[in-house]
Structure formats: C-alpha cells, structure tokens
Amino acid sequence: MRRASLLASACLALSSCAVGPDFAPPPAPAAPGFTPERAASPGEGQRFAQGQDIPAQWWTLFRSKPLDALVKESLQNNPSLQAAEAAVRVAYYNAEAQKGGFFPQVFLNANDSNNLQSNNRSLDSINQTVFNQSFPTPANLATGAAVPNIPQSTPNANYGLFLKQLTVSFTPDVWGGNARAVESLVAQTAQQNWQLEAAHLALTTNVVVAAIQEAAIRGQIEATRTIITILHETLEILNRQYTFGSIAKADVIAQEAALAQAEQTLPPLEKQLAIQRNLLTALAGRLSFEGAGETFELARFTLPSTVPVSLPSQLVAQRPDIMAAEANLHAASAAVGVAAANRLPNITLSANVGASAFKVAQLFAPGTGLYTAAANLSQPIFDGMTLLNKQKAAEAALEQTDAQYRSTVINAFQNVADALRSLQSDAKAVSTARKAEDAAKRSLDIVRMQLRYGQVSQIAVLNAQRTFLLASLSRVQAEATRLSDTAALFMALGGGWWNR
C-alpha cells in the first residue's frame, strides 16, 4: 500500500505543471441580510433567531411523533433517495478508475497456435512465416535472440508455436491532462454528493408538507361536517316552525338547498384526502395498497416558536443546490485543462518482454527470449481545428456554469426572503382568521337563538351559516400554510445537514 502511494505521488509530481485554470471557490456574497431591512419576527407565538444554527432533524421541532416516524421510514425506504446514493457511488468509482492513468499499465499476453503447413511451400517460406510470428517487430532483431529451430519441411508439416510476453506501457502526465480529468471527476463526485443531500432535504420537506396538507384537509372536512350538523339542526327547527305555520315553505326549501350545497363540498375534500394519503404512502416507499399508516391532524402539530435564521454569509455553504452548482463549476474548470492538454505533445513509453518456442518446455530455454522497448511522441499538427474548438467549447461551458452558479445563489436568497416574508404574513393571517371564525361562530349562535323564537329572517340565517363555514375553512388553511411555510424556511436555509 505504501509503495502504491509513493508511486502515485511520483506520477502526480509529473503533473505539477497542469495546464488550465486552477479552481478557487467563489466568495460568499457580501450581503447584510436577506431582505432590504432586518426581518422582523412574525409574532403571534413565533420569532426569528438570527444566526442560530439549524438542527439536523429540524422536523422534530413540530413535536409530532407520527411525523417523526414517517420521516424516518421515508429516509430508509424511499427509492429516489436510494437512487441518489447509487449515483454517488457511480461517480466515485469513475473518478477512481481515472486515477489508474497515473500508473503503468501491465498486461500478460499469450499467443499459442498449432499450425499445419502444406508441402507446396518452400522451407524458406516456412522459416520466414515462423520468424515473423515469433518476432513481429524490427526491434526484436536488436536482441540477438536466436531463431528457434524450425522443423524440416515435410509434406503437410505440423508444428506448434507458443508465445508468452509481458507488455508494459506508461503515459507520463506531463501537461496534467489526466490530473485535470481526475479533478473533474472528483468534482462530479462531490456534485453527486450534494445532489444526495438535496434529495434528502427535498424528501424530508415533502413529507412534512404533505403531512401538514393532510392535516389541513382533515381540518376542512371536520369544519364542513360541523356546519352540516348545524344545518341539519337548523332544518329541523324550520320544519317544526313550518308545521306550526310560523314560516313559509320557501324558507324550509332554502335551508334544504344550503344543506345540500354543504354536503356537496364534502366528497371533493374526501377525494383530496385519499390522494394525499397515496402521496404519503409513496413518499414512505410503500405501494399504494399498503397505506401510509400514520394519520395527521393540525392539533397534533406544534408551531416552532423559535425559528433559526442563518447568516447570509453562511447560506452558500449550507444550501446543497449551491454546493452542487459550485462542484459543477469546478468540474467545468478542470475540463478546460483537459482540453488544453489534448493540444500538447503526448509521450507514451512501452516495453514488451517474453519468450517464443515451438514447445512449451522450451519457453525458458536459452535463445527463446525477446523484448521490445519503445517511446512514442505524438503532436497534433492539423486536425481541422477540432481540438482548438473543443477547448473553446470547454471555456464557454465554464462561463455557462459560472452564470448558473450565480443564478443558483440569487434563487437561494430569494427563497429565504420569500419564506421570511411569508411567515410574517402568515402570522397576521392566522390571527385574523381565528378572530373571523370566532366572530362568525358567535354571530351564528345568536342567529340560531333568534331563529328558535322567530325573530330573524331566513336570509340572515343562511348568511350566518355560510360566513361561519368560510371562516372555519380559512382558519384551517391559514394555520396549515403557516406550518408549511415554516418547513419551507428550514428547507431554504439548507436543512441542517451539517449537524447530521
């Protein structure tokens, strides 16, 4: 192992003058914050902790054991994550394979044949044929190796020829072309690693958001069933009043229509719930018939009261997509060096050593040895501008990946700013929605009480019922949105993988 390391170091020393640009990671943006002004805490039970670190298992801040269990199962069984892990191994072994170019390549060749020579050829012809097969290159003549004894020409002469030789070739990496190729492949391995982290973050976020959405749908179904129960009770009151002749039939029919409309909204919600359950099942790596197992309700989620917010200077080192874009930029930079090295002279050293005889037992006898030592130098002279244009293409690709990197950073800052703004707005929306639902419920209770004594019109009853239903649905959606946007902020900040 130590010998291999020394050999690798010696080969790398030959590559010290690698052509092409030396990669340096782009500096972090000098940004004081994610928004023009310092992002104020949302309030309503939630605040931003500037500069505080994000836990690796950030989803545990929602304090939902069913959610923790589902995320754990998804990380273990989701095939998309397993595919990303396999992609890392593919890139790693490709990089390891390219490192073989730093070492000599050694091959053992065996060329054994049994020959039947017809009698219509002269002995000299036979001798020349055998000599050519045994010593295929002019360099063999320099060895002074004796020509094996060739059997006398006889009608239909049968003879064997055994050739064993060891071939060694080595291409010194004078211009660092192979070093740059390895550098590019190592960068691609890093890129796949960051893609794995991005897949990990996306999966956990998708599970959390899908669970919150299921809880929101269940909340909407519960609110709809509550209003349906109220509509049924109101209809019974109106039927009794109609029996006593206190109201007209039209009022009863209007209430029946309102009840039917409310009941009509229930099947689409139940359909959404079933589809959401299928999504959770798939994220957990299960087939649809197995089901997701855990069920979720909004009341079983706790809104994280303290939300860590990383410093802007740390974001570029935390976001997996930014790090993946940086690795792509590194690979593109190394590819320029590979293209430049291909335009320069290339040296290949090779040697063959072996033995040739008419019998296996004679392979190691005196006079059967042969060897070849050669050096090859090649320099492209004219290739129709192919290599030059390939280098220019690699340089253009470097410019492209640099622009893509900067675009990724800009999008990352936008994601964080959007999440901060959303949480500020969500806090107000939840507060307003809760007040509106509470007011609508008190108004409906008053109207229903007045209805019992015939002191209110049917139109007022219908309006109060509709207002309460809409307010309940809005409150459920506002609470779910606030939970989802909190998860989105954790994702935008990188998800805390560095603490895992």
- Would strands 346-357 and 369-378 be described as parallel, antiparallel, or unpaired? antiparallel
Q: Provide the pLDDT for residue 371.
A: 87
Q: Provide the pLDDT for residue 298.
A: 93
For 355-411, the pLDDT digits (tens) are 888 887 787 888 888 889 999 998 989 889 999 999 999 999 999 999 999 999 999
**312 & 351 share domain:** no
**402 & 318 share domain:** yes
Q: Provide the pLDDT for residue 155.
A: 58
User: Which among 169, 199, 150 is positioned nearest to 109, based on CA atoms?
Assistant: 169
User: 9 in a domain, yes or no?
Assistant: no
> What span, in angstroms and rounded, lies between the C-alpha atoms of 40 and 22?
42
**295 & 361 share domain:** no
**316 & 457 share domain:** yes
Last residue of a domain, one of 378, 402, 435: 378
The predicted model scores a pTM of 0.81
For 469-495, the pLDDT digits (tens) are 999 999 999 999 999 999 999 999 999
**158 & 233 share domain:** no
User: 456 in a domain, yes or no?
Assistant: yes
Q: Which domain holds residue 168?
A: 104-173+345-378
**286 & 354 share domain:** no
User: 453 in a domain, yes or no?
Assistant: yes
> Mind listing the pLDDT tens digit of every residue in the chain (500 residues)?
344 344 344 444 444 578 989 999 999 888 888 888 887 888 888 999 988 999 999 999 999 999 999 999 999 999 999 999 999 999 999 999 999 999 999 999 888 888 887 765 544 554 555 445 444 544 444 444 444 444 554 556 777 888 889 999 999 999 999 999 999 999 999 999 999 999 999 999 999 999 999 999 999 999 999 999 999 988 998 898 888 888 889 989 998 999 999 999 999 999 999 999 999 999 999 998 888 788 999 999 999 999 999 999 899 999 999 999 999 999 999 999 999 999 999 999 999 998 888 887 787 888 888 889 999 998 989 889 999 999 999 999 999 999 999 999 999 999 999 999 999 999 999 999 999 999 999 999 998 888 887 777 878 888 998 999 999 999 999 999 999 999 999 999 999 999 98
**194 & 90 share domain:** yes
Average pLDDT taken over every residue of the chain? 87
Q: At 127, which CATH number?
A: 2.20.200.10
User: 257 in a domain, yes or no?
Assistant: yes
Q: Provide the pLDDT for residue 57.
A: 95
Last residue of a domain, one of 378, 398, 426: 378
**255 & 325 share domain:** yes
Tally of domains within the chain: 2
Side chain identity, residue 272: Q
Residue that the structure tokens 């500037």 belong to: 50
Q: Provide the pLDDT for residue 454.
A: 76
Which pair of tokens denotes residue 136?
Answer: 């295929």
**122 & 265 share domain:** no
**190 & 279 share domain:** yes
User: 4 in a domain, yes or no?
Assistant: no
**What φ, ψ does residue 30 adopt, rounded to 5°?**
-85, 75
**What φ, ψ does residue 375 adopt, rounded to 5°?**
-130, 135
Q: At 406, which CATH number?
A: 1.20.1600.10
User: 1 in a domain, yes or no?
Assistant: no
**202 & 272 share domain:** yes
Q: Provide the pLDDT for residue 132.
A: 52
User: 222 in a domain, yes or no?
Assistant: yes
**355 & 494 share domain:** no
